[in-house]
Amino acid sequence: MSLIWKLLRQHISIPQFVGFFFANVIGMAIILLGIQFYNDMNAVYSSEDSFMREDYMIVNKEVSMLNSIFGNDNTFSQEEIDNIKEQPFVEKMGVFTPSQFVVKAGFDIQGVARFSTDLFFESVPDDFVDVDKEGWIFNPEDNTIPIIIPKYYLDLYNFGFAQSRNMPAMTEGILEAIKIDITARGNQDEQIYKGHIFGFSNRINTILVPQKFLEYANKRFAEKQENKVVRVIMQVDNPTDENIKTFLEDHKYVTDEDKLDASKTNYLLKVVLSIVLLVGLIISVLAFFILMLSIYLLVEKNSEKLQNLMIIGYSPAKVARPYQILTVILNVIVALIAVMLVFFMRKWYMNLFENFFPNMEVPSFMPTWIMVIGICIFFSVINFFVIKRKVLSVWAKK
């Protein structure tokens, strides 16, 4: 043990350091757990349904008896669209483009049955479709169309139709592999395309194709070009904003309540996690102050020794070093213990998650590592400079 440490460890208060230690382990673990949990939750959300972001809302007009009887249409006029766009809670807005031509789709299932049906398509601007953009394209030269359908179509088939007809149930994987013949007709023209299911969505209740395809096909097959908008999609900054609800009610617009609920849950989760993170941060900062106070007292009590060391030729940096190393070691030990705690707690809750979502990929532990290294460096750097300053003040003291 070096002589200088033998001198400077005098007056170290073990209770103060223990206090710092536990407070900081708790604070740090809360921060890390909050961040890791948020990251893991996001993975759960996105594994559920990654096609639409949670803060998107689809809005249409209420369909009422009067509309039907008097033939009032439920389309949005340009003023109405502009009005929505101008609402303060709307960050971005896009309209649904419907297909304006005849669409027929057919496919065979294992040679057993031939399905054929009239269909319609809709599209939204690509930046509202939150998918890996690769594959979500349409190229007129190559006749394939990716399609996203609502998940409950599959449920309808599996639990309704297939059950009653003694047909085999189908998985998402099988359906995605099936090639669908899409016939587009109109304007004395006809074209057969190869469609394939690109994905299933819980959140979007339409049959979605790339915007580019509809722009192209409407131009080619539609008898008359008209831009009737019956649904709009908007990105909002906060789905729980009361103003949204009021606005929708005032204008007799409707949106998917479930969607609102999911968004609310997610939003609440964010709020709760923010509070948890804040509490963790406050505990950590307080713990940091305990450590600083403790070191201040230590330097104060040992100021005569520090001064005498500097008088016999030790530089301020050299006499500050033992305390700096002490704080860095404490910070690192605290960080490692906090990481360990988070690791075990995460193991526990990830088991729960996996029960609910067996297919989900386990997200990385990286956010915790990045955060812990960041906090550790941040606190250590501040400790470093505060101690140096304190020691320099001893130099100046007579």
Partner 1 sequence: MNIISLVNTIPEVFASVEDLNSEVWRQQIQLEKGCNYLFEANSGTGKSSLLSYLYGFRRDYQGQILFDDVDISSFNIKKWTDIRKKTLSLLWQELRLFPELTAWENVVIKNNITKFQNKKTIETWFEQLGIDDKREAIVDKMSFGQQQRVALIRALCQPFDFIMVDEPISHLDSMNADVMAEIISAEAKRQGAAVIVTSIGKRLELQYDHIFKL
Residue ranges binding partner 1 (CB under 8 A): 3-4, 6-7, 10, 305, 308-316, 318, 392, 395, 398
| Nearer Cβ to partner 1 (71/313) | 313
| Nearer Cβ to partner 1 (245/318) | 318
Q: Minimal CA–CA distance to 213: which of 145, 158, 270, 261?
A: 145
Q: Minimal CA–CA distance to 150: which of 198, 88, 93?
A: 198
Long-range contacts (CB closer than 8 Å, 24 or more residues apart) made by 252-256: 252/61, 252/62, 253/59, 253/60, 253/61, 253/62, 254/59, 254/60, 254/61, 254/62, 255/57, 255/58, 255/59, 255/60, 256/57, 256/58, 256/203, 256/205
Cβ 308 to partner 1, closest distance in Å? Answer: 5
| Nearer Cβ to partner 1 (289/385) | 385
Residue 16 neighbours by CB under 8 Å, 6+ apart = 290, 293, 294, 297
| Nearer Cβ to partner 1 (11/270) | 11
Asked if 175 contacts 102 with a C-beta cutoff of 8 angstroms, the reply is: no
Q: What are phi and psi of 189, to 5 degrees?
A: -140, 155
| Nearer Cβ to partner 1 (4/41) | 4
> How many angstroms from the chain centroid is the CA of residue 169?
33
Cβ 10 to partner 1, closest distance in Å? Answer: 7
Measure the CA–CA gap between 334 and 20, rounded to whole angstroms: 9
Measure the CA–CA gap between 336 and 334, rounded to whole angstroms: 6
Cβ 312 to partner 1, closest distance in Å? Answer: 5
Q: Please, what's the b/e burial string for 349-358 (b: 16 or more CB within 10 A of its CB; e: otherwise)?
A: ebeebeeeee
Cβ 341 to partner 1, closest distance in Å? Answer: 39
The number of helix segments (H) and strand segments (E) in the chain equals 13, 11
| Nearer Cβ to partner 1 (259/321) | 321
Cβ 13 to partner 1, closest distance in Å? Answer: 17
Q: What are phi and psi of 358, to 5 degrees?
A: -60, -25
Asked if 135 contacts 114 with a C-beta cutoff of 8 angstroms, the reply is: no
| Nearer Cβ to partner 1 (335/394) | 394
| Nearer Cβ to partner 1 (173/313) | 313
Cβ 8 to partner 1, closest distance in Å? Answer: 11
Measure the CA–CA gap between 125 and 385, rounded to whole angstroms: 52
> How many angstroms from the chain centroid is the CA of residue 329?
35
Cβ 2 to partner 1, closest distance in Å? Answer: 8
| Nearer Cβ to partner 1 (11/194) | 11
| Nearer Cβ to partner 1 (4/350) | 4
Helix H or strand E encompassing 283: helix 257-301
Measure the CA–CA gap between 214 and 217, rounded to whole angstroms: 5
Cβ 16 to partner 1, closest distance in Å? Answer: 21
The residues facing 57 across adjacent strands are: 234
Cβ 317 to partner 1, closest distance in Å? Answer: 9
Cβ 323 to partner 1, closest distance in Å? Answer: 17
The CB density around residue 2, as the number of other CB atoms within 10 Å, is: 8
